A and B are shown apart, each in its own frame.
Chain A
Amino acid sequence: MNPLIAPQLPFDMKPRAREAVRDLKLQQFVGNATHLKDSQRGGIFDRDFGLEYDDLRTVARDTKQYALDHLDELLERFIANAEASGAHIHAAATGRDACAIALDIARAHHATSCVKSKSMVTEEIGLLPAFEAAGIKTLETDLGEFILQIDGDAPSHIVTPMIHKDRVATAKSFVRELGSRYTEDPEELTKIAREHMRGLYRAADIGVSGANFLLADEGSAVICTNEGNFDLSVGGPPVHIVFVGIEKLIRGARDLAPFLKLLARSGTAQPLTIYTSFVRGPRRTGEHGGPKEVHFVLVDAGRVGVLASEKRDLLRCIRCGACLNACPVYRKVGGHSYGSVYAGPIGAVLTPELERAQSGSNGLTNYPDLPRASSLCGACYEACPVKIDIPKFLLHDRARLRERGLSPASEESVLRVWRWLAERPALFRLAVGAARLHARMLGQREATQDGDRAWLTRAPGPGAGWTATRDLGFATGESFREWFAKHDNARGAR
C-alpha cells in the first residue's frame, strides 16, 4: 500500500507537516480550494435552508444515529432484501478478508481487468495493490484518482483527492504515462483521460465501487458521483462488486432525502451530485446492459469495535469532506500529514479509533500526534452535516494520551508551570505583566480595523517550538484584569 496513506507505525506527523507548511504550492492550492469550498458551502445552505439548516442537520444526525443504534436489524433486513434481488452478500472482518473475497470472485470469472469507481473503503483495505499483485489490471476511473494512480501518488482529501496537485504535474504524467501531447489545459487533459478510458470500460471483466448509502428496505446501494464514472463502471462489465462499510446503512429510501440534500451541499456546494445512482441487484431478464452478477462486500475493518465503543457517533460520518475544508490545521498541513486514508478533523479521531478496534492496542500509541492536530476551534463541528462533536472526541483522546504518559514532556512542564502560577494570583499578575512587556519590546505590531494586532515570530525558551512553524500572537491594550477592575461597578471601586 502507498506509504503516504499507510505509513510505518507509529506515525510521526511532524516531519510531513513541517514539509507541507514550507511547500508554497501546496499552501496555495489547498488554502485556496478549502477556503472557497467552505464559503460556498455556507452560501448554498443559507440560500436553500436559511435558519432551518440547523434543524436539517439535527434530523440527519438523529436518523443516522438511529440506524447505528439498530444496525443489527437493518443489516439483517438489507441482506434479506439484497439477496431477494439476486445480489450476493459477503462479509469481511478485515481488509485482508475483503481483498481475498474480491480475488475469489475475480478468479471465478478469470478476470484480468477491472474498472473502479472512487471509494474510500477500497483505499482503506488496499484493494488496488491486491488486484495488481494478482495480475488484474485495475483502472481508477474518477479523474482525480486516475491522475494519482498513474503518478504513484495517493489521495489527500475525501472528496477532492488531488487537491494537493497542480496541472503541470498532471500534464507531465499524461505525457509520460499515456504518451499524449503536452498540454496544461484542464479541459484538454480531461478529454485525453476520457478517450483513454472509454475503451477500457467496454473491455473490463469486473467493475468495482464503494457506496455512499445502503438502503435496508430496498436492499440497494446508493452511489454519488459527479463524473458519471460509476454508471459506466457498473454498466459495462459482467460482474460488479460493491465494497461498503457497514456504517453506511440507513433504514431505506424513506430516510435518504436529508442525507442527499446535505452531502453534496456540504462537500461541493451542489444541490445534489450530478449522478445519484441506485443499484438493486443484477440485470433482469430482458434487460440490455448491466452486470449479470452483483456482489456486496460488507466491510467491518474496525467498525464493529467503534460501534461498541463510546465513540459510536463517529460512524455517523457521511464522508462529505466539509470538516477538512473548514479546518485551519488541514488547510496548512494538507491530507498526507495525517498518515491515513482519512485526513482532517474526522481522520484525526477516526484513524486511531479504527486502529484501536482492529489491533486491540489503544490506537493512540501509533498515532500520538493526531489528537493534537487541532486548534479546538470547533469549525469542524460547525461544518458537520450530521453534527459529530469532533472537538469533544479530540479532547477525550488528549486525556487518554496523558493517562498513558504519551503527552510530550514539554507540554506537561508548561502546564505544570501554568498551574503553579494560576494558583498564586500575585505571581500570576507579575508573570503576565513581564510576558506582555517582553512581547511589547520584541514583537511586531500592526494597526488594523479591529484594533492593534501584535505577534512574535521567534519566541524564547519553550515557546521556540511554537514559533518554529507559526507566529505567536498576543493581546494588546489593557488586560482583562485591568478592564474588569474598571468596570466592576457592582462591587464598587477598590
Chain B
Amino acid sequence: MTARSPAVDLLLARVRAAVRAQPVSVAEVPAHTVVRRIARDAANLADLFAAKAQAVGMRVTRVDDAGLDATLAKLLEARGTTVVAVRDAALAARASAAAGARLAPNDNADLLFDCEVGVTDVDCAIAESGSLVVSTNGRIRNAWVTPPIHIAIVRASQILPDLVDLFETRPDTLDAASTTIITGPSKTADIEGVLVTGVHGPAAVEIVLVDQAAP
C-alpha cells in the first residue's frame, strides 16, 4: 500500500464542508420490506428460481443427485471439446470422460479463452430474479464468463428467496476479490435494438438444478 496522496485528504475536507452547507434531510435509512415483494409469497423456491432463470434466457435441467453425472455428460457431449471446471473437479472429470471432452487445467486464466465450456458450482442462487452468484472464493476468475458456454450446478438448498437475502445472510460472498451476480446469457441490443446473445460472455447458460425432490 502506498502512502495516501494529500489530494485525498483535501477531497475529504471539501466534502465535509459541502455536506454541512445544506441541512440533513434524511437522518435515517428507511427499512425496506417493500423491496422483497416478488419472492414474498413463494411456496417453492426451486420452482420460482427455475421459472425466473428461464424467463431471462437461461436453460434449466432439473435432476436428482443420482442423475447429475449423466446429465452433465449429456450437456458436454452436445457442446464442448475443451472444458474448464472449477470445484467439483471429480464430477467434471467423470462427466468429461463420459462425453469425450478434454478437461483443461483450472489454474491458468489465459487458457479460459481456448475453452468451449466453463463448468462451475455457485456460491448461491436467487429465486426472485433467477440469478446465479459466483465469486473467486476458490474458483478461477471468469470461468463463468470467458468460455462461450457456461454450465452452472445449483443445489436447491443454495437458493435464497431474494437479492436482499444475499446481502443480509451471505456477506461472505462479497468478501472475495471478485463476485458476480449472473442473470442471463451475455446480451446486447445496441444495434437497432435487436437482441443478440453472446457478445463478450457466454451465449448460453445451462443450469443443472439438483434437487432431491425432483422426479
Contact = CB atoms under 8 A, between A and B. Distances in A.
Contacts of A99: none
A427 B4 CA distance: 71
Interface stretch (A255-263, A345-353, A449-457, A474-482): A255-263
Contact of A93 (B10, B28, B145, B179): B10
A368 to B, nearest CB: 26
A284 B192 contact: no
B183 interface: yes
Given A298-B11, A312-B22, A289 B188 contact: no
B182 A71 contact: no
Interface string B94-129: 000000000000111110110000000000000011
A251 B140 contact: no
Nearest to B112: A289
Contact of B1 (A86, A229, A255): A86
B7 to A, nearest CB: 4
Nearest to A232: B200
Given A260-B163, A273-B183, A235 B141 contact: yes
A353 B163 CA distance: 35
Q: Name which of B17, B175, B179 has the most chain A CB atoms within 10 A of its CB.
A: B179
Chain A interface residue number, banded = 35 or more
A82 B93 CA distance: 38
A88 B2 contact: yes
Contacts of B30: 58-59, 62-63
A166 B190 CA distance: 9
Q: Name which of B5, B21, B112, B142 has the most chain A CB atoms within 10 A of its CB.
A: B142
Contact of A91 (B5, B113, B194): B5
B117 to A, nearest CB: 16
B80 interface: no
A75 B12 contact: yes
A346 to B, nearest CB: 20
Nearest to B126: A272
Nearest to A145: B190
B109 A141 contact: no
A275 B201 contact: yes
A79 B10 CA distance: 13
Contact of A231 (B21, B106, B110, B145): B145
Interface residues of B, number: 81
A218 interface: yes
B56 A66 contact: no
Contact of B183 (A48, A90, A197, A270): A270
Interface string B173-205: 011111111111111111111101011111000
Nearest to A97: B7
B190 A93 contact: no
Contacts of A270: 56, 183-184
Interface stretch (B33-41, B60-68, B69-77, B151-159): B33-41
Contact of B182 (A66, A236, A275): A275
A69 interface: yes
Q: Name which of A36, A251, A308 has the most chain B CB atoms within 10 A of its CB.
A: A308
A275 B10 contact: no
A274 B184 contact: yes
A16 B101 CA distance: 57
B183 A271 contact: yes
Contact of A186 (B32, B194, B201, B202): B194
Contacts of B176: 278, 280
B213 interface: no
B90 interface: no
B43 interface: no
Nearest to B140: A288
B52 A90 contact: no
B42 interface: no
A205 B198 CA distance: 25
5 contacts: A66-B26, A72-B12, A147-B191, A272-B181, A280-B174
8 closest A-B pairs by CB? A228-B201, A289-B109, A144-B190, A289-B141, A308-B18, A91-B11, A308-B21, A227-B199
Interface of A: 29, 32-33, 36, 48-50, 52, 55-56, 58-59, 62-63, 65-66, 68-72, 75-76, 79, 83, 85-86, 88-93, 97, 141-144, 147, 160-162, 166-167, 170, 186-187, 189-191, 193-194, 197-198, 201-202, 218, 220, 226-229, 231-232, 234-236, 246, 251, 253-258, 260-261, 268, 270-284, 287-290, 298, 300, 304-305, 307-310, 312
